[in-house]
């Protein structure tokens, strides 16, 4: 005969029952899916942050270059003005009135001056 002097619990190996195995397997699969989803979200956030940072760095670089130079390229409305007497075409900025380039007389304009100055002599 035995006398129970004291009862307590210990951690020991216990083989899983088939139902427990199935339940633990399902829980494990759900946890894995959850972790993968969270990792995917984290990657997306990191990529979004990296893309935003890259865009900010690009803008910072462009602004620094502009500030350093003191100018930037912009679309400016221009106008071509032809001097009828010389045939020279001037390209003028309409915002400042500055002539940005001049284009020499066209070949037609040059030829018209030659034709007008050459006397015509008819021979019979």
pTM above the 0.75 mark? no
4 within some domain? no
**Beta bridge pairs of residue 82:** 89
Best CA proximity match to 103, nearest among 81, 122, 121: 81
59 within some domain? yes
**pLDDT tens-place values along the chain, 124 residues long:** 888 889 999 999 999 999 999 999 999 999 999 999 999 999 999 999 999 999 999 999 999 999 999 999 999 999 999 999 888 999 999 999 999 999 988 666 666 654 454 444 555 5
84 within some domain? yes
8 within some domain? no
Tokens matching residue 58: 């690009």
Whether 58 and 82 map to the same domain: the answer is no
39 within some domain? yes
38 within some domain? yes
61: domain range? 15-66
Query: Which letter, b or e, does each residue of 18-48 get, where b requires 16 or more Cβ atoms within 10 Å of its Cβ?
Result: eeeeeeeeeeeeeeeeeeeeeeeeeeeeeee
Which of 25, 41, 66 is the last residue in one of the domains? 66
Under DSSP, is residue 109 helix (H, G, I), strand (E, B) or coil? helix
């Amino acid at each position: 005969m035995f006398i129970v002097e004291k009862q307590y619990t210990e951690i020991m190996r216990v083989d899983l029952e088939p139902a427990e195995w199935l339940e633990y397997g399902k829980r494990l699969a759900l946890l894995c899916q959850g972790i993968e989803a969270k990792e995917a979200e984290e990657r997306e956030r990191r990529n979004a942050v990296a893309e935003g940072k890259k865009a900010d760095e690009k803008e910072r670089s462009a602004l620094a270059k502009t500030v350093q130079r003191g100018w930037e390229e912009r679309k400016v409305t221009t106008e071509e003005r032809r001097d009828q007497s010389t045939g020279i075409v001037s390209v003028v900025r309409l915002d400042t009135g500055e002539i940005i380039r001049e284009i020499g007389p066209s070949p037609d304009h040059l030829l018209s001056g030659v034709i007008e100055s050459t006397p015509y002599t008819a021979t019979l």
